[in-house]
Amino acid sequence: MLRRLWPASLLGRLTLVMVAGLLVTQLAANAIWSAQLRAKSRVEAESAAQYVAHSASAAIRFFRSLPPSYRALVIQQMREMGGTRFFVNLNHACVDVRQIAAHPLADSVKATVGATLKGDLPHSPGFRLAFAWPDELTVSDGVRLGELPDAWVQHILLLQPDPAPILVIQTELEPGNWLYMAALMPNPYFLNANDPWAWDRLALQGLSLAAVLLLCLLVVRWITRPLAALSDAAASFGQGDHAPPLPETGSREFINTARAFSAMRERIQRYIEDRERLFISISHDLRTPITRLKLRSELLDDEALRNEFEEDLDELDMMVKGALQCVKDSDIHENPAEVKLDTLLGRLVRSARLAGHEVGYADSGLSVRAKPLALKRAIGNLLDNALYYGKRAEISTGSENGAVTIAVRDHGPGVPEEALASLFDPYVRLEHGRDQNDGGLGLGLGIARGVIEAHGGRLILENHPEGGLNATIRLPA
């Protein structure tokens, strides 16, 4: 599965590695940062909890020092003056408070407040602590916080627009008299301070990650674009096209590579031209002496010696013709074009049938981009071999896995498996081949393979399960 997901192109691989590296780094940094943030928030919240608890213990002492009949009057005066640090109320029993969802930091704050209150007021009967949301907070029997006058709470608690959790402290002053105090923490939104996944932080990290990824993609594309140009130039040169020289721009390494490739292409081109001139010279220089030797051999009186001379000269002449044929059939200078296989193969089939051969073929409607004359010679060589050695041939075409296939099958005796690899060697002819075609040179398959490989394809020879040899051409679709 990993191999299937792994991109094939260098651009895809570099992009995937850089994206994965950035994501892993971002997640690791977030994990470290969130751990530090939680630890810092916990220390700050516990310090604030101690401050709130000391203030609450002072308020509790104050109300305990007042006569019970004066407490309500003092609370009323504080409300009219605008309130104090706490919203204070007196109840006859402990009020049931609906708490917020469980939160580790809120539990730590309540534990710190409770411990501090017990330390300041060791003789107190106990404390009831809770965090509640303003819209769900009950201040006395049946009375919610939202039902109170705004003047009583607007300077003490945050109700709008973004409510904050409220700490509620309840303690019994005397039997039947409960003091109810509600207050905000010094940092009202302390529960959100240690959340590394808050939407604003995620949005900021997402924007920074997107910017870095975009720059990485641009850099990767800038790096790989010259390599793609180099690959295209190599493919065009391999197929015989005259591509323009590579631009010497970009990084120093690519400039050096482009210069080395251009120099290599020029050396190969000079070698090909020198080879063509060499074979032209061979054609001109060897044919004349061979002809003179043949004429002189006719003057020999010894018939046996004359026959030996003529056989050696015929063999030499055949080798020269074969070498020239290899160059002539392989080096075909054409421009690639869209070739309709039905038209090209139809001509070959009609020519074979006019010569009295039996060839089967069905139209397929497929096309390939190739050099028409070179491809025709390659398929013609395969068809000639099939007709020489099998008497009857069948041609079929198809497309599979991004390639166009052309199969030429004969109905001959086939080829021994150990001899298949040597069929492409020059001047190699099997025993039954010499019997069927004594005038051949054993060069047709090598020429056909050279032409097919120049088109970026493959020529595969294998014995057909039902008998005979099957030659399959695979060309890029």
Is residue 98 domain-resident?
yes
Structural domain range at position 314: 252-330
- Domain count of the fold of the chain: 3
What separation in angstroms does the CA of 293 have from each of 98, 252, 287, 306? Answer: 120, 61, 10, 11
Helix axis angle, 372-390 relative to 341-354, nearest 10°? 40
pTM for the model stands at: 0.46
Last residue of a domain, one of 330, 354, 379: 330
What is the percent of the chain with per-residue pLDDT over 90, rounded to a whole number?
11
Tell me whether residue 207 is in a domain. no
Report yes or no on 52 lying in a domain.
Answer: yes
The last residue of a domain, from among 305, 330, 355: 330
Report the distance separating Cα 248 and Cα 246, nearest Å. Answer: 6
Q: What is the pLDDT of residue 441?
A: 52
**Residue 426 domain flag:** yes
Are 168 and 152 in contact, with CB atoms under 8 Å apart? no
Q: Could you tell me if 47 and 175 lie in one domain?
A: yes
Identify each DSSP E strand in 221-380 by its residue range. Answer: 337-340, 358-361, 367-370
pLDDT at 168: 92
Flag whether 405 is in a domain: yes
Shared-domain flag, residues 77 and 29 = yes
Instruction: Evaluate whether residue 198 is within a structural domain.
Output: no
Q: Point out which residues pair with 272 in neighbouring strands.
A: none
CA distance 447 to 455: 13
Do residue 326 and residue 342 come from a single domain?
no
| CATH number where 433 lies | 3.30.565.10
CB of 41 closer than 8 Å to CB of 105: yes
Residue 398 shares a structural domain with residue 430 = yes
pLDDT value at position 81? Answer: 76
User: Could you say which residues of the chain have pLDDT below 50?
Assistant: none
